[in-house]
Amino acid sequence: MSISDLTHAGLEQAINHHISMDQNARAQMAQLHGRVIALEVLGTGRTVYLVPGPEMIQLLSSYEGEPDCLLQGSPLTITQLRHPVPEGEDPVPTDMRVSGESELAQQFCRILRGVEINWEAYLSQYTGSLIAGEVSKAIDFAGYWRDHIIDTLNRDLREYMQEEGAVLPTRHEIDAFGNGVLQLEQRLRQLQQRIERLTGIEGESR
Amino acid sequence: MNDKGTTHFGYEQVETGEKAKRVREVFDSVATKYDLMNDLMSLGIHRLWKRYAVELAGLRPGHKVLDLASGTGDLAARYSGLVGPEGLVTMTDINAAMLDQGRARMADRGLIGNVEYVQVNAEAIPFEDGRFDCVTIGFGLRNVTDKQKALDEMFRVLRPGGRALILEFSHPRSAPLKWAYDTYSFNLLPLIGKLVTKDEDSYRYLAESIRMHPDQETLRGMMEQSGFERCDYHNLTGGVVAVHRGYKL
Ligand SMILES: C[S@@+](CC[C@H](N)C(=O)[O-])C[C@H]1O[C@@H](n2cnc3c(N)ncnc32)[C@H](O)[C@@H]1O
């Protein structure tokens, strides 16, 4: 999994979260079911493919077919998508280049403009330098794992990562997994204690 | 599996027919709490794993996809979005209770037009040769008694040029990760099972079945044996999970 997979997962979730709360946007998205919109972030060499559907929109890092339309814009242009435009005005940002089906591009940009997305946060992952700290801040995977696992494990892990030539994203997933395991363990212990306490109390009061 | 017709059920040896029955029981007993458990089991990461696998499927509008062991249909739901109204997703499971649950969830999600539901044992797929553009099985192959037979069947129902994907727990490649994973699956997973579903054994079975599953290279070899070509695999989360992919050329 690469950093853009994680970014796309986050962005996908954010868009879908907003859409799930907006009946209208959901219905409009459903009408575009199966259409493929490519969004190229100029200057970063990144393209994300967006596929709307009845339940949710899906974001893909790669697409083997031909998209129905291609939108090309600089990060700055793309951030303009966060502002709604009045009915009758072109929802495609002025500096955005459109090829393919322009009507689809318009419908799609109109939907996106209704959705509140912090584009900067996602785009910065394309444009910013991929320093571990920054990335984890951005994707919000706490450094819990790093702090709580003894140093030797950490060293092993680092060596393993270097040895495998694996880079940050893998580190990231492992962080997330280790972090999850620890939190889960804690939660379960608490739950178990509570259950024991409750059943103990019940036993006494009988 | 060996000649005497016994097979693994987690770490226990049981008769082959018995295994299918026991696997069914495991899922019957957990079907309703499956989604909750699914999140707990893989700490939400399963969503990332599934997204990744779906990308590798290379689906396009109009494609016909067969999803085996669909459970409640996380993969099928994504496919349904990608193949568009002209495509068709055949969502299947060996377990009728699970499939009903899945059908209900898909309807809740508004996914109705391009999905069909069929009760299917992956070892004996009731469809003609060459019907599908893509055949997938997510976190299901390890439950199948005769895995080679399931792979043969997946190959058979693919059209030439089609591809198969197998998303499954696999064998982590680093020591610390193995440690975290073992703690999680052997200690925490059964504990969750006990607390949430009051069914420790089912989750112990899940953990054990994961360990018994063939490792990355072995599974790739098995795919080749079924006739798949250009087989590769992608380790996710350091090999906790792997996606295997093969083509029928
Ligand atoms: C862990 S669930 C996976 C569900 C879903 N694919 C997912 O990824 O969330 C495993 C499923 O495999 C099914 N299963 C077990 N043995 C099977 C077989 N021989 N053929 C088809 N499905 C089977 C079970 O009924 C269960 O629903």
**Angstroms from A63 CA to nearest CA on chain B:** 7
Chain B residue nearest residue A51, CA to CA: B82
How many whole angstroms from A24 Cα to the centroid of ligand 1?
35
Comparing CA positions, the residue from A191, A129, A83 lying closest to residue B188 is A191
**Angstroms from A184 CA to nearest CA on chain B:** 8
Rg of chain B, C-alpha, whole Å: 17
Q: CATH number of the domain that B98 lies in?
A: 3.40.50.150
Among candidates B195, B237, B238 on the partner chain, residue whose Cβ is nearest the Cβ of A188 = B195
3-class DSSP assignment, residue A41:
strand
Chain A residue nearest residue B194, CA to CA: A192
Residue B156 belongs to a domain: yes
Q: Is A177 on the interface with B (CB under 8 A)?
A: yes
Could you tell me if residue A42 is left (phi over 0), alpha (psi between -120 and 50 degrees) or otherwise beta? beta
Strand pairing class (B132-138; B64-68): parallel
How many whole angstroms from B72 Cα to the centroid of ligand 1?
9
Rounded-to-10 torsion of CA A172, A173, A178, A182: 90
**Residues of chain B contacting A192 with CB distance shorter than 8 Å:** 191, 195
Residue B11 belongs to a domain: no
Chains A and B form CB pairs within 8 A to the count of 125
ipTM attached to this prediction: 0.78
Among candidates B179, B187, B195 on the partner chain, residue whose Cβ is nearest the Cβ of A195 = B195
**Residues of chain A contacting B195 with CB distance shorter than 8 Å:** 188, 191-192, 195
Q: How many CB atoms lie within 10 A of CB B218?
A: 12
Render pLDDT for A92-117 as a digit per residue (tens, 0 to 9).
999 999 999 999 999 999 999 888 77
**Residues of chain A contacting B60 with CB distance shorter than 8 Å:** 64-65
Render pLDDT for A170-196 as a digit per residue (tens, 0 to 9).
555 555 656 666 666 666 566 556 555
Residue B181 belongs to a domain: no
**Interface contact B45-A184, CB threshold 8 A:** no
User: What does pTM read for this prediction?
Assistant: 0.77
Comparing CA positions, the residue from A140, A178, A139 lying closest to residue A156 is A178
- Residue B204, token pair as written in the block: 């112990």
Render pLDDT for A46-100 as a digit per residue (tens, 0 to 9).
899 999 998 899 999 999 999 999 999 988 888 888 888 888 899 999 999 999 9
Structural domain boundaries enclosing B115: 17-173+205-247
Is the predicted pLDDT of residue A140 greater than 50, yes or no?
A: no
Q: How many CB atoms lie within 10 A of CB A110?
A: 19
Q: Give ∠ CA A152-A154-A159 in degrees, rounded to 5.
A: 95
Is the predicted pLDDT of residue A199 greater than 80, yes or no?
A: no
Residue B199 belongs to a domain: no
pLDDT value, residue A82:
81
Render pLDDT for B68-101 as a digit per residue (tens, 0 to 9).
999 889 999 999 999 999 999 999 999 998 899 8
Among candidates A36, A54, A57 on the partner chain, residue whose Cβ is nearest the Cβ of B111 = A54
**Residues of chain B contacting A157 with CB distance shorter than 8 Å:** 174, 176-177
Average pLDDT over residues B38-63: 79
Average pLDDT over residues B221-234: 97
Residue B7 belongs to a domain: no
Per-residue DSSP letters for A9-40?
HHHHHHHHHHHHT-HHHHHHHHHTTT--EEEE
Q: Report yes or no: B248 and B231 within 8 Å, Cβ to Cβ.
A: no
Average pLDDT over residues B115-126: 97
Q: Report yes or no: A33 and A53 within 8 Å, Cβ to Cβ.
A: yes
Counting residues of chain B whose pLDDT is more than 70, the rounded percentage is: 74
pLDDT value, residue B188:
67
Interface test with A, best of B39, B48, B55 (most A CBs within 10 A): B55
Look-up of token digits 């393993």: A160
Residue B3 belongs to a domain: no
Residue B2 belongs to a domain: no
Residue B100 belongs to a domain: yes
Is the predicted pLDDT of residue A146 greater than 50, yes or no?
A: no
Looking at the structure of chain B, the number of domains it has is: 1
A74 Cβ contact partners less than 8 Å away, ≥ 6 residues apart: A41, A42, A43, A95
pLDDT value, residue A159:
41
Question: Rounded to whole angstroms, what are the CA distances from B215 to B53, B135, B163?
Answer: 18, 21, 21
Counting residues of chain A whose pLDDT is more than 70, the rounded percentage is: 56
* Residue B25: half-sphere exposure toward Cβ, Cα within 13 Å: 11
